[in-house]
Amino acid sequence: AAERGQLAGLSLAYWVRERAEACFVEELHALQRRFPDFQFRLFLTGESPSAAHESEGRLDEGTLSALPGSPKGAEVLACGPTGFVARVEALLRGAAARIATESFTPPVLRVPEVAAPTVEVTLLKSRRTISIPTDTPLLAALEAAGLKPEHGCRQGLCGRCTCAKASGVHVDLRDDSAHAEASTALKVCVSAARTDLSIDL
C-alpha cells in the first residue's frame, strides 16, 4: 500500500507491554514522514510514555479518545490475541462501519524433561558464560541474569530475537522438537537449552 501511495487516512494503534517489544517502529516513523496523513500511536501497558507518539493504558473506553483517528464510521482491522480482538469488537461495534479481525492464541511453551537442571550458555559476542535453568525459555533466563537481548513478540513470530547457535542442543518450545545442528539459528523467546550452548549474543 505504501508503494502505491495508499496510506492517506490510515491510522495505526499498536499495543505492547514494553516499548522494546514493538516491531518496526522506525519504519513506521519513516512512513509518517513520507505520508503526513498516516497516523501512528504506540500504547504501553507496562511502562510510562516517554515520547510524543506514545500513550499509556490498555484498550478501553478511556483510551479510545487517544486513538490516532476516530473509529466512528471507519473500517477497522484488528489483529492480536483472542481476548484483545474480542475487546475491540465489543468497544467498536456500532461505531465502526466495518470490523475485520484476525486473532491468535499465544503458544503454550512446554519444556521436555531433561536430566540436568541447569546448563552453561556461552554468549560469544558478550564473552560471557552463564548458568541457566533448562526449564526456562532462553530469553526469560537471559533477562533474569540481567541481560537485555533484542526481542519483540515473545512468541516466535517477528524474528527479532533470532541469533546464531554455534554448538549445543536446544528445544523449540512450540513443538518440543530438539535441534542438535551446529551453525544454525534459534529464536531465544521460544527456545530452551537442553545441553550447554554457544550462541552469538
State the DSSP string of 63-116. GGGGSSS--TT-EEEEEEEHHHHHHHHHHHTTTSSEEEEEEE-PPPP-PPP-S-
Residue 115 pLDDT: 60
DSSP secondary structure code for residue 169 in this structure:
-
Residue 180 pLDDT: 87
The domain defined by 118-199 carries CATH number 3.40.50.300: no
Rounded to two decimals, the pTM is: 0.56
Spatial distance between the Cα atoms of 61 and 92, rounded to a whole number of angstroms? 10
Spatial distance between the Cα atoms of 140 and 192, rounded to a whole number of angstroms? 10
Burial of 147 (0-12, 13-18, 19+ CB in 10 A): middle
Taking only the tens place, the pLDDT of each residue in 118-171 is: 999 999 999 999 999 998 999 999 999 999 999 988 988 888 999 999 999 999
Residue 107 pLDDT: 60
Which amino acid, 114?
V
| C-alpha grid cell, residue 64 | 479510545
Residue 133 pLDDT: 93
Residue 70 pLDDT: 79
Residue 112 pLDDT: 58
Residue 29 pLDDT: 92
Spatial distance between the Cα atoms of 89 and 119, rounded to a whole number of angstroms? 45
Spatial distance between the Cα atoms of 132 and 116, rounded to a whole number of angstroms? 11
Residue 186 pLDDT: 93
| C-alpha grid cell, residue 152 | 519483540
* Secondary structure (3-state) at 149: coil
Residues forming a β-bridge with 102: 79
- Domain boundaries in the chain? 11-104, 118-199
Taking only the tens place, the pLDDT of each residue in 55-113 is: 999 988 888 877 877 788 889 999 988 888 999 999 998 888 999 999 877 666 565 56
Spatial distance between the Cα atoms of 201 and 198, rounded to a whole number of angstroms? 9
* Secondary structure (3-state) at 175: coil
Within the chain, strands assigned E span 11-16, 39-44, 54-56, 75-81, 98-104, 118-123, 128-133, 162-167, 170-172, 177-179, 184-187, 191-193, 197-199
Taking only the tens place, the pLDDT of each residue in 1-46 is: 544 555 667 889 999 988 888 888 999 999 988 888 888 999 999 8
Handedness of CA 12, 17, 18, 20 (dihedral sign): negative
CATH class of the domain comprising 11-104: alpha beta
| C-alpha grid cell, residue 6 | 495508499
